[in-house]
Amino acid sequence: MEVFAKARAAADDLVARIGAKPQVKPLVMGILNVTPDSFSDGGRFVAVEAALTHARAMAAAGADMVDIGAESTRPGFVPVEEAEEWARLEKVLAPLIEDVALPVSIDTTKAAIARRAAALGAAMINDVSGLRADPAMAEVAAESGAALVVMHHCAEIDPDRDIVADMFAFFDETMELARAAGIAREKIVLDPGVGFGKSLRQNLLAIDACGPLGEKYGLPVLIGASRKSFIGALSGAPTQDRLAGTLAAHLRAFSRGAAIFRVHDVAEHVAALNVWSEFDRA
């Protein structure tokens, strides 16, 4: 069997689900960090059984997919070498793909990690660098046939930056990189990159940009504001108590056209998005 056949089939199914979901039925992506230093849950799911138990719980709560990462991307994170990142992932990834009945997304900026994950059957590559960190990532995405999330980010915060114009310029370049590599356009998902090199105001504008981004590129938009620091700045809540603020931010994004939500609290998001959706159905 062709090495990426499983990934390609899983990706095709996932893309069909994303495309078939109208605005009134978004997808929820559950976060699974197998890291010791993630800002919200670092160290909790490093052990294989703990990771799998959490993934199963998210599936039971209504998650549509699981996003697994082995390198923290929080502000001030310590970069992880490829061998260490794969060592953290390898013991969890195969049983996760085989035993948990959800598509799996691999959260990495390293092409070699993405390739190995896709060879095991990962349906999606979630690259927070937006194809900038590793020149080989676009080639891996094209070759594997995996779906691809590309995220906008800024190297540093500049409060005077026109963040929406910057996003358009960034994604124009990203789409050209993807086209040149042969990545199928319908497999691309855009992420405004909440919390990545943005001021508080720019994070709010990034959430509201879901609509313009989707309209300009004709692609689904993923939003990931879960428990992030701008919510703490607005609410005064510590990291573990930011569910209410997270729900408010994600419902705002939903109203602006976001289609996929990357979250820590799956059950609460499934319930909130379902209730919100009923207003549209009514």
- The residue from 110, 187, 198, 228 that is catalytic is 228
Task: Quote the pLDDT of residue 37.
Answer: 54
- 260-264: average pLDDT: 97
| 130 vs 44 pLDDT, higher one | 130
- 184-211: average pLDDT: 97
User: Do 254 and 221 form a contact (C-beta atoms < 8 A)?
Assistant: no
- 2-16: average pLDDT: 93
- 54-65: average pLDDT: 96
User: Do 183 and 50 form a contact (C-beta atoms < 8 A)?
Assistant: no
Does 228 qualify as catalytic in the annotation?
A: yes
Classify each residue of 17-55 as buried b or exposed e, where b means 16 or more C-beta atoms within 10 Å of its C-beta: ebeeeeeeebbbbbbbbbbeebbbbeebbbeeeebbebb
User: Do 221 and 29 form a contact (C-beta atoms < 8 A)?
Assistant: no
Task: Quote the pLDDT of residue 68.
Answer: 96
| 66 vs 20 pLDDT, higher one | 66
User: Do 189 and 220 form a contact (C-beta atoms < 8 A)?
Assistant: yes
Nearest to 266 by CA among 11, 22, 27: 27
- H or E element that contains 270: helix 266-281
* pTM (predicted TM-score): 0.93
Classify each residue of 88-116 as buried b or exposed e, where b means 16 or more C-beta atoms within 10 Å of its C-beta: bbeebbeebbeebebbbbbbbbbbbbbbb
| 76 vs 131 pLDDT, higher one | 131
Q: How many structural domains are present in the chain?
A: 1
Model pLDDT for residues 116-152, shown as the tens digit of each residue:
999 999 999 999 999 999 999 999 999 999 999 999 9
User: Do 143 and 4 form a contact (C-beta atoms < 8 A)?
Assistant: yes
28 three-state secondary structure:
strand
Task: Quote the pLDDT of residue 1.
Answer: 45
Going across the sheet that includes 65-69, the strands are: 188-191, 147-151, 124-127, 104-107, 65-69, 27-33, 260-263, 222-223
Q: Which of 22-26, 95-99, 175-179, 264-268 has the lowest mean pLDDT?
A: 22-26
- H or E element that contains 21: none
Task: Quote the pLDDT of residue 144.
Answer: 97
Angle (CA) 79-66-178 rounded to 5° is 65
Model pLDDT for residues 198-233, shown as the tens digit of each residue:
999 999 999 999 999 999 999 999 999 999 999 999
Across the chain, the runs of DSSP E, i.e. the strands, are: 27-33, 65-69, 104-107, 124-127, 147-151, 188-191, 222-223, 260-263
Whether residue 13 has pLDDT greater than 80: yes
| 197 vs 44 pLDDT, higher one | 197
Task: Quote the pLDDT of residue 202.
Answer: 98
Angle (CA) 39-198-68 rounded to 5° is 40
User: Do 7 and 148 form a contact (C-beta atoms < 8 A)?
Assistant: no
Domain harbouring 231, CATH code: 3.20.20.20
Task: Quote the pLDDT of residue 23.
Answer: 58
Separation between Cα atoms, residue 112 and residue 137, nearest integer Å: 8
Which domain range does residue 171 map to? Answer: 5-18+25-281
β-bridge pairing 222-223 and 260-263: parallel
Q: Is 12 exposed, middle or buried (0-12, 13-18, 19+ CB in 10 A)?
A: middle
